C-alpha cells in the first residue's frame, strides 16, 4: 500500500498520540529517529568529515543523537549549533547535554565567519537546523548556515525536511538547503510533492521512529 504523505499537523499528531495514547517517550522517538538517520548516513557517505548543523528545536535534537551514533561508528563528526545550547529545551536539550557530557565536538557559532571556518573541511553536511516546526523566512544564522552549506562541495543530507521548505505548501525560502538526500521520519510530507520543493529534496529515504503500526494505519501511513 502506497504510504500517504502527511501534513505538519498530522505528523505532529502522530508524535503526540504515540506519547499520550501509547505511553511512548519523546526521547525514545528522537533516539529512534537519530539512530535510524545515522545508519542511513553511514551507508550513504561511508568516509570523510561529517558536520551536523543544529538549530533550536527537536530537529536540532535529532542532530545531537545522529552525532552520537556516528561517533560510535568511528566517524569524524562535529556539531555546529547556531544557537547557544542553553536555549534548547525538552528532548533537544537532553540530547545536547548528553553530547556535551560525552565530549562530542560541539561548536556554538555566533557569526557567519565562524560557520565558514568550521564548515570548510566538511565532506558531508547534515541539516538539522529546522524541521516541521519552521515558520516564515529563515532568521539570522539559519539563513547564513544554509547559504554557506550550499556553496560547499560536500554531500548535503537533510534531516526530516530541507531547511527552508514549508512541509505543507512546498514553498522554498530564498535560502533553502539543497539536499542530495532527505531522510524523513514517519512519512513523506505533503509539500514534498510540489515542484518548488522537489528540486531541494534529492533522494528521499524514510526512517521509522518506532511508532506502532496501528497508529500509522489510522493516519493512512
Q: Which residues are annotated as a binding site for K(+)?
A: 59, 127, 163
What are the E-state strand segments in 101-150? 105-108, 124-128
Dihedral over Cα of 11, 17, 22, 25: its sign: positive
Q: 3-state DSSP call for residue 36?
A: helix
Residue 92 CB, shortest distance to K ion, in Å, is 13
For 157, phi then psi, to 5°, come to -125, 120
Q: Say how far apart CA 7 and CA 78 lie, in whole Å.
A: 32
Q: Pairing mode, if any, of strands 155-159 and 181-185? A: parallel
Binding site for (6S)-NADPHX: what residues are annotated?
58-62, 131-137, 142, 160
Number of amino acids touching K ion (CB under 5 A): 5
Should residue 163 be labelled a site residue for K ion when binding is judged by CB under 5 A? yes
Binding site: what residues are annotated?
58-62, 127, 131-137, 142, 160, 163
Q: Which of residues 125-154 bind K ion (CB under 5 A)?
A: 127
Residue 3 CB, shortest distance to ligand LZDS7PUF, in Å, is 14
Binding site for ligand LZDS7PUF (CB under 6 A): 11, 14-15, 29-30, 33, 55-62, 130-139, 142, 159-161, 185-186, 209
The closest alpha carbon to 123, from 193, 68, 57, 48, belongs to: 48
**Interface residue list for K ion (CB under 5 A):** 59, 127, 158-159, 163
Amino acid at each position: 500500500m502506497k504510504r500517504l504523505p502527511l501534513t505538519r499537523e498530522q505528523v505532529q499528531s502522530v508524535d503526540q498520540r504515540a506519547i499520550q495514547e501509547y505511553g511512548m517517550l519523546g526521547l525514545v522517538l528522537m533516539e529512534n529517529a537519530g539512530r535510524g538517520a545515522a545508519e542511513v548516513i553511514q551507508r550513504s557517505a561511508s568516509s570523510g568529515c561529517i558536520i551536523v548543523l543544529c538549530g533550536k528545536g527537536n530537529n536540532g535534537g535529532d542532530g545531537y543523537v545522529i552525532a552520537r551514533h556516528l561517533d560510535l561508528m568511528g566517524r569524524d563528526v562535529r556539531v555546529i549549533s547556531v544557537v547557544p545550547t542553553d536555549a534548547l529545551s525538552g528532548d533537544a536539550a537532553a540530547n545536547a547535554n548528553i553530547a556535551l557530557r560525552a565530549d562530542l565536538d560541539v561548536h556554538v557559532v555566533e557569526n557567519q565567519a565562524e560557520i565558514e571556518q568550521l564548515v570548510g573541511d566538511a565532506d558531508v553536511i547534515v541539516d538539522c537546523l529546522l524541521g516541521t516546526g519552521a515558520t516564515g523566512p529563515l532568521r539570522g544564522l539559519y539563513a547564513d548556515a544554509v547559504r554557506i552549506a550550499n556553496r560547499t562541495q560536500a554531500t548535503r543530507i537533510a534531516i526530516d525536511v530541507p531547511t527552508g521548505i514549508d512541509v505543507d505548501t512546498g514553498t522554498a525560502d530564498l535560502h533553502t538547503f539543497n539536499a542530495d538526500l532527505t531522510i524523513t521520519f514517519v512519512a513523506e510530507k505533503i509539500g514534498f510533492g510540489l515542484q518548488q520543493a522537489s528540486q531541494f529534496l534529492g533522494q528521499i529515504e524514510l526512517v521509522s521512529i518506532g511508532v506502532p503500526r496501528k497508529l500509522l494505519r489510522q493516519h493512512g501511513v
